[in-house]
A and B are shown apart, each in its own frame.
Chain A
């Protein structure tokens, strides 16, 4: 998964990668050449007392050093470029994939997880690519080059190199193997510390009300102690790494001198070769260590790559048609024909055989208990989901045949969870209609009963709105969302429980003002309160995804027991007061 992702995303940078490899080769080559030159200085210059040779070789060494510096700076340049481009492209691919998602996929991943995937996970893999550009390319070269150069110096000590490499590789590999599960555990325990703390912060009123501060502290202490335990374990393993590597290196150096001395005594090699040999040995072992670091990063990056690939390869369940029908204009006649919808993995459909028809000028209200499928019904009309059977038609055309952009261009939605974007009041109101004039905005605010408070806000229309709209109250947010939909002047309005945060007087004034404004549109209203919907042209009573009643308030009161029950539960005791 990791390899596939990296290969795919790095493909456009083939030439840069080639350049990188060439530069790293120069870098490694120069690095490997230096000890040979050093050996030459000792063997041919120092031992023979040849001052001229020392100067010449010294000059050559300087030249090689310069080449090496240029090589490695160039490699750093290209490596950073490649890794960051990789990150950018991967982020963009996730962002675009999510853009195509329907409500189903959004629900499946959840927004918070998608956010982490597009930033944090990408960062993990990007880091690996960056390290890979420096280490992954150099380490094998260093290793192979080191081995070749060492062998060129002498064949008699190769077994020593082999032994050191094996000892180091096996022991480091063993440590890494032990560390991987421990790391996974660390991650999970960090999550837990996070969760306990998050719960504390979100429930702080309840905790203080029950005076459970001590209990929370002990819950947190356990979580953090568990984290510390496993961190200590990881630390103990990690702490072994460096001393181990250095000890192996030092010991093999001694080995080289000891066994090398015999070779020298027997006249097989010269003493200069021996010191060069030692340098190569250290280089080989260093490359083994670098490779180990890479391996240490791979498990974490693999998990991240998997999570990224999951997003990018998930096909949106709602796909635009290849040859969309594009009517000149949509009037806004909405029709559901035996529409059913079942979430993947669910046992039961959320909506079953729903049929309804609404024309411009009509208001259709939908009522029913939590989980009865009200919001899902609206989502079908906006094609956030596709029906599993049956069809949704707008102006007689199946929404699956329409260009989604055109469909959405005619829909105004006020979501259940009032959400505003960061910016200003005006930028939010213009969200669906960038060309709206200021008077359009004030008109919409007037209808939405938001004029007064917007006027009072610091800056009026230009007052700042924080992300999500957290700097205005719930009721104000809801009214701004309504105004936003009004500014877009859509043919179809979808109000998803959009009046719940309003007190009843405001709710009522708003609906009164809304009526003339939406006269030429088709209006759908999901609501909890009967008072909100009783004047609707048609009320649909949903129970467990099935339409159990459909008609006007009076008709339903007369014949629909579920509706009667809802009305009674809301107002039961008050009736006699009339």
Chain B
């Protein structure tokens, strides 16, 4: 049953964003890992994501400056170090040459012996024959390098810290925005969305965004700047060696592009299979007993094995293909290294480059391929982060509830009027048509009818969880669409079949009805609704923490707590929607009494299966297919001999002590 209804037009979407789209998405069960999904509008979403960092402009500016500084220092390091190497090399060579001769004389002597290559090399060196390594100079240079590196390290730490702050804080606001959004969307949106899906967006996706932002932002900056810086430095050493080294760039781009294209597809397939397998496992485990009793174990296992095998297969291919990037990059890097070594060696040999420069160049070329590889491997991460961001933005762009009215409700008496109301969850299949109804203050209205007749829908409409298609609902003569939702709802207490309590103590859960209630008020509400009795048998009393499993509090007792909560809120009107159907009959007696206490002097709407509970209602509405087919009090309706009479008799039959056991029993 599709529970969708375009309740309201989309609110203004921030400028530059795509218009709000329908928000349903058939994604698989959320896993702890960011899905490498294909994004719909990569650059738009990426820009919007970055736009969310705008409040941190100043910090981001600082980060940029620090990054440039630390990269510059890091890049300068090898160059300066190269000078030290030259000094050491020159010293070590010089020490071997005869003392007192000039360099020119030594070179000339070498040429005379026909050792032209060595002569060339020596000529290009800052060498003084007979003089060894000058440790003062070397020490000074090395200290400079040390200072450079330490400063770079400090800058890096500060930069990374600032970035961490920016990312975590912006993820914090993103999570809060989603929470705030959930308070603003119409209920139809939440009803139409698998709960796990939304949850996954708040935790897994936002986590994924944070992680990929943290890594890509700093890495993009550092690696991008490093590549540029390194290229500049390489040019200062030797422009033509640099050109040779730069051949690696297009190679890297082509290789990673190709690999990523393939691996992306495989990753998408991998997550698809993971989702499917998760679904199969979930289904099998949830229906564990049924699988056994109906003898389906073998089929279920075979099905599991097929998907499991497919997942393993596509996963290893995805892993292998994406894992190719590193070896290939290393190969390219090593290739380049060899070429640089060979060419550099030849250069030194013929004296056109110093050894220190070659060493520095070799180091630079290593520093150059490494960030390139990192940049390449980030593409995947970025795609995954942006895909997650899109999923979160979809939630943020969901159409919101109709704007609030600002009319005031008169001091409440609790008169309710449905005036020619029409409504359907899906636009083309009306559920409720031309429904009119008047309820005087203090009256109890019971609504009965088969499943799907529209009983709960009436509640949804009165609470304004859903908006009407036509007609209007008046509370004390005021159209509920003209007053703020909160004003309306705060006058109505609600107890539902599904006893909703949150993780907190019993006291906190009761006080939820009125946040500033005193302890006395809480206890009074608890006493009036039979909560006090069982709370006393709990070792922790009112401080007992309610958790999902129930922790010693039975379903009926949970229901009593929700009634106490409504009692404490002291609303003018009350809605009790099948509040007792999942409770055994003895607890029900208590519940009935508690609810009777709650109902006195309030306008109440009661929905119930068991007709015995609603006999005393002032008005009973019998609903079928979204229409009120009968209306009146118990005796009137019985006398009329219509739908209510039939409903009543069918129930009545079972309980009748005097009735002939075979009167309505199945034929033997």
Per a CB cutoff under 8 Å, which of A243, A405, A409, A413 touches B157? A243
B301 touches A99 (CB 8 A): yes
Q: CA separation between A501 and B135, bound complex, in Å?
A: 92
Q: Which residues of B contact A46 (CB under 8 A)?
A: 121, 344-345, 348-349, 355, 358
The yes or no answer to A415 lying at the interface (CB within 8 A) is: yes
A508 and B494 in contact, given A49-B349, A69-B328, A115-B282 (Cβ under 8 angstroms):
no
The yes or no answer to B126 lying at the interface (CB within 8 A) is: no
Task: Looking at the assembled complex, report how far the CB atom of B159 sits from the nearest CB atom of chain A, in whole angstroms.
Answer: 9
The yes or no answer to B102 lying at the interface (CB within 8 A) is: no
Q: Which residues of B contact A270 (CB under 8 A)?
A: 92
Q: Tell me the chain A residues, 198-234 only, with Cβ under 8 Å from chain B.
A: 198-206, 208-213, 215-217, 220-221, 224-225, 227-228, 231-232
User: B12-20, B176-184, B419-427: which one contacts chain A?
Assistant: B176-184
Q: Which residues of A contact B331 (CB under 8 A)?
A: 65-66, 68-69
| Most chain A CB neighbours (cut-off 10 Å) among B157, B338, B485, B646 | B338
User: A76-84, A290-298, A336-344, A437-445: which one contacts chain B?
Assistant: A76-84
Per a CB cutoff under 8 Å, which of B463, B612, B658 touches A572? B612
Kindly list the 8 A-B residue pairs having the minimum CB-CB distance in the complex, ordered from nearest: A531-B654, A49-B117, A571-B655, A515-B666, A235-B164, A239-B160, A88-B312, A432-B294
| Most chain A CB neighbours (cut-off 10 Å) among B278, B287, B502, B555 | B502
Q: Tell me the chain B residues, 289-303 only, with Cβ under 8 Å from chain A.
A: 289-297, 300-301
User: A153-161, A177-185, A469-477: which one contacts chain B?
Assistant: A469-477
Q: Which residues of A contact B278 (CB under 8 A)?
A: 115, 119
A431 touches B320 (CB 8 A): no
Q: Tell me the chain B residues, 136-164 only, with Cβ under 8 Å from chain A.
A: 138-139, 142, 145-146, 149-150, 152-154, 156-157, 160-161, 163-164
The yes or no answer to A392 lying at the interface (CB within 8 A) is: no
Per a CB cutoff under 8 Å, which of B138, B344, B667 touches A258? B138
The yes or no answer to B523 lying at the interface (CB within 8 A) is: no
The yes or no answer to B512 lying at the interface (CB within 8 A) is: yes
User: A6-14, A143-151, A189-197: which one contacts chain B?
Assistant: A189-197
Q: 21 A-B contacts, Cβ less than 8 Å apart?
A: A49-B117, A111-B288, A115-B285, A197-B199, A198-B199, A205-B465, A213-B486, A236-B164, A250-B149, A257-B84, A258-B139, A262-B133, A408-B295, A502-B451, A503-B449, A508-B653, A531-B655, A557-B657, A572-B612, A574-B611, A575-B657
Q: Which residues of B contact A271 (CB under 8 A)?
A: 85, 88-89, 92, 355
The yes or no answer to A48 lying at the interface (CB within 8 A) is: yes
A42 and B355 in contact, given A81-B316, A205-B496 (Cβ under 8 angstroms):
yes
Q: CA separation between A264 and B317, bound complex, in Å?
A: 50
Q: Which residues of B contact A231 (CB under 8 A)?
A: 168, 210
Q: CA separation between A334 and B137, bound complex, in Å?
A: 100
A257 touches B349 (CB 8 A): no
Q: Which residues of B contact A61 (CB under 8 A)?
A: 334, 337-338, 341-342
A73 touches B327 (CB 8 A): yes
**Interface SS of A by simple majority:** helix
The yes or no answer to B171 lying at the interface (CB within 8 A) is: yes
Q: Which residues of A contact B274 (CB under 8 A)?
A: 119
Interface string of A234-268 (1 = CB under 8 A from B): 01101110111011001101100110111011000
Q: Which residues of A contact B51 (CB under 8 A)?
A: none
Q: Tell me the chain A residues, 494-537 only, with Cβ under 8 Å from chain B.
A: 500-508, 511-516, 528-532, 534-535
The yes or no answer to A578 lying at the interface (CB within 8 A) is: yes
User: B435-443, B527-535, B585-593: which one contacts chain A?
Assistant: B585-593
Q: Tell me the chain A residues, 40-78 only, with Cβ under 8 Å from chain B.
A: 41-42, 45-51, 54-55, 58, 61-62, 65-66, 68-69, 72-73, 76-77
A120 and B176 in contact, given A236-B164, A264-B92, A569-B585 (Cβ under 8 angstroms):
no
B190 touches A415 (CB 8 A): no
Q: CA separation between A432 and B292, bound complex, in Å?
A: 10
Q: Which residues of A contact B666 (CB under 8 A)?
A: 511-516, 535
A211 and B296 in contact, given A73-B327, A76-B327 (Cβ under 8 angstroms):
no
A34 touches B190 (CB 8 A): no
Q: Tell me the chain B residues, 162-203 only, with Cβ under 8 Å from chain A.
A: 163-165, 167-169, 171-172, 175-176, 179-180, 182-183, 187, 190, 195, 198-199, 202-203
The yes or no answer to A577 lying at the interface (CB within 8 A) is: yes
Task: Looking at the assembled complex, report how far the CB atom of B549 sits from the nearest CB atom of chain A, in whole angstroms.
Answer: 9
The yes or no answer to B489 lying at the interface (CB within 8 A) is: yes
A501 touches B647 (CB 8 A): no
Interface string of A456-497 (1 = CB under 8 A from B): 000000000001100111111000000010001000000000
Q: Which residues of B contact A287 (CB under 8 A)?
A: none
A369 touches B91 (CB 8 A): no
A200 touches B587 (CB 8 A): no
B288 touches A106 (CB 8 A): yes
Task: Looking at the assembled complex, report how far the CB atom of B203 sits from the nearest CB atom of chain A, in whole angstroms.
Answer: 5
Q: CA separation between A573 and B279, bound complex, in Å?
A: 49
Known contacts A257-B84, A578-B658; 11 additional CB pairs below 8 A are A58-B338, A58-B339, A76-B319, A120-B31, A197-B203, A201-B195, A202-B498, A208-B187, A235-B164, A370-B555, A432-B293
Task: Looking at the assembled complex, report how far the CB atom of A100 sits from the nearest CB atom of chain B, in whole angstroms.
Answer: 9
The yes or no answer to B36 lying at the interface (CB within 8 A) is: no
Interface string of A340-371 (1 = CB under 8 A from B): 00000000000000000000000000001111
Q: Number of B interface residues, CB 8 Å?
A: 182
The yes or no answer to B120 lying at the interface (CB within 8 A) is: yes
Task: Looking at the assembled complex, report how far the CB atom of B655 sits from the nearest CB atom of chain A, in whole angstroms.
Answer: 3
Q: Which residues of A contact B324 (CB under 8 A)?
A: 73, 76
Of all chain B residues, which has the CB nearest A49? B117
Q: Which residues of B contact A68 (CB under 8 A)?
A: 330-331, 334
B312 touches A85 (CB 8 A): yes
A194 touches B337 (CB 8 A): no
Of all chain A residues, which has the CB nearest B78? A253
The yes or no answer to A389 lying at the interface (CB within 8 A) is: no
Task: Looking at the assembled complex, report how far the CB atom of B278 sits from the nearest CB atom of chain A, in whole angstroms.
Answer: 5
Q: Which residues of B contact A123 (CB under 8 A)?
A: 31-33
How many inter-chain residue pairs (CB < 8 Å) link A and B? 479
| Most chain B CB neighbours (cut-off 10 Å) among A210, A221, A413 | A210
A573 and B199 in contact, given A65-B335, A77-B320 (Cβ under 8 angstroms):
no
The yes or no answer to B47 lying at the interface (CB within 8 A) is: no
The yes or no answer to B109 lying at the interface (CB within 8 A) is: no
Q: CA separation between A103 and B664, bound complex, in Å?
A: 38
Q: Which residues of B contact A200 (CB under 8 A)?
A: 179, 182
A76 touches B463 (CB 8 A): no
Interface string of A105-126 (1 = CB under 8 A from B): 0100001001100111001000
A503 and B661 in contact, given A80-B320, A115-B285 (Cβ under 8 angstroms):
no
Q: CA separation between A308 and B404, bound complex, in Å?
A: 51
Q: Tell me the chain B residues, 228-243 only, with Cβ under 8 Å from chain A.
A: none
Per a CB cutoff under 8 Å, which of A49, A50, A79 touches B323? A79
Q: Which residues of B contact A49 (CB under 8 A)?
A: 115, 117-118, 120-121, 349-350
Q: Which residues of B contact A484 (CB under 8 A)?
A: 294
Per a CB cutoff under 8 Å, which of B118, B172, B452, B650 touches A48? B118
A54 and B355 in contact, given A69-B330, A250-B149 (Cβ under 8 angstroms):
no
Per a CB cutoff under 8 Å, which of A85, A220, A573 touches B179? A220
Q: Which residues of B contact A120 (CB under 8 A)?
A: 31-32
Per a CB cutoff under 8 Å, which of B172, B326, B650 touches A72? B326
Task: Looking at the assembled complex, report how far the CB atom of B279 sits from the nearest CB atom of chain A, in whole angstroms.
Answer: 7
The yes or no answer to B583 lying at the interface (CB within 8 A) is: yes
A84 touches B297 (CB 8 A): no
Per a CB cutoff under 8 Å, which of A119, A202, A205, A217 touches B187? A205
Task: Looking at the assembled complex, report how far the CB atom of A476 sits from the nearest CB atom of chain B, in whole angstroms.
Answer: 8
Per a CB cutoff under 8 Å, which of A34, A69, A206, A228 touches B494? A206
Q: CA separation between A72 and B175, bound complex, in Å?
A: 42
| Most chain A CB neighbours (cut-off 10 Å) among B91, B118, B586, B589 | B586
A209 touches B653 (CB 8 A): no
B286 touches A220 (CB 8 A): no
Q: CA separation between A254 and B163, bound complex, in Å?
A: 30
Q: Which residues of A contact B292 (CB under 8 A)?
A: 384, 404, 408
